[in-house]
Structure 1
Amino acid sequence: MEERVPAGERGATRITERVVAKLATQAAREALRAERAVVGAPRRKDGGPTASAVVRRSPGADGTGGLATVRVAVELGYPSDIGAQCGAVRRQVVRRVGELAGMELQEVTVAVERLHSPELDGAASGTLR
C-alpha cells in the first residue's frame, strides 16, 4: 500500500503572474459576455479584454492564502451602463481568480480603454477615445 504524504509536506505550487493575468482575462471575458446578453452591447472583433497581474504572495500548500493585484483593460459598447459593466468585470475577476488560483485580490483595476459606438461604425473613427 502506498504511503500518503500530508499536503503541507508535499511541496509548494507557485502560481505566476502570467497565470493570474490569464485567469483574470478569461473572467473579464465571461463577465462582458453575460453583460452583452443583458444589454445587447456589440461584440468586439479583436478578442476582448487583457489583464496584467502582480502576485504578492503565492497560495500555501492548502491552496489558500495567495494575494495579488490585477489590472484589466476593456473596450465597451457605447452608449451603455459603463459602471455596471466595470462592476460585473471586477466581481467576476475576484470570484474566478479566488476559485481557480486560491488567491485573494487586493485590488482590481478596470480600465476602459475604448468605447465603441454603433452610430460611428463606418465613420472615420468608429471608436471614442
Structure 2
Amino acid sequence: MGASVPAPAPAAARRGRLRVADRVYRRIAGQAAREALAEAWAGRSAQGAPPRVSVARPGSTVTVRVAVDLPFPADLAGLARGVRDRVAERVVGLTGTRVSQVVVVVETLVPRAAR
C-alpha cells in the first residue's frame, strides 16, 4: 500500500473570492480613527463626536471618507495625517483590500472647556 498523496490546491480563480461588506470597512475605519485620536482627546472634558465613516469600492480597492471632530488647539494637520495613516494601515491589515484613498474631513474644532 502506498501513501496517499493530497490533491493539488485549486487555482486561485477556481477557489472563489472574499467580499467584505461596507459596514465592516466602516467599523474598522471608525475604530482606527478613534485609536489615532485617543491621545489628543485624553484629559479633556469636552469630547468630539465619534468619527463618521463612509466607503466606496471602485473596483478592487476601497476609498474611505472619515469625518472627525478635532481638539483645538492642536496640530490639526498632524492629527489628520495620523487618522489617515492609521485607517489605511488597519483596513489593509485586517481585510487585505488595497486602500486607494483616505479622505479626512474635519467637521468641528472643539475648544478646551472653560475651567
Task: Give the TM-score taking structure 2 as reference length.
Answer: 0.79
Query: 1:29 aligned to 29, 34, 38, which one?
Result: 34
Q: Which runs of 5+ in 2 are unaligned?
A: none
Asked if 1:109 is matched to 2:99, the reply is: no
Mark the CA change 1:116 to 1:12 in structure 2 (over 3 Å): closer, same or farther: same
Query: What is aligned with 1:95?
Result: 89
Q: 3-state SS of the aligned residue for 1:56?
A: coil
* Letter of the 1:96 counterpart: R
Asked if 1:53 is matched to 2:45, the reply is: no
Answer 1 or 2: higher relative contact order, Cα 8 Å, separation at least 6: 2
Task: Give the TM-score taking structure 1 as reference length.
Answer: 0.71
Task: Provide, for residues 20-78 of structure 1, a one-character-per-residue CA deviation record: whole Å limited to 9, x for no partner.
Answer: 111111111111114445xx6666264x2121001223xxxxxxxx4110100100110
Distance (whole Å) between structure 2 residues aligned to residue 84 and residue 110 of structure 1: 12
The CA RMSD over aligned residues, in Å, is 2.6
Task: State which drifts further: 14-23 or 95-104.
Answer: 14-23
Q: Which runs of 5+ in 1 are unaligned?
A: 58-65, 123-129
Distance (whole Å) between structure 2 residues aligned to residue 100 and residue 33 of structure 1: 20
Query: What is aligned with 1:81?
Result: 75
Query: Which of the two has higher C-alpha Rg?
Result: 2
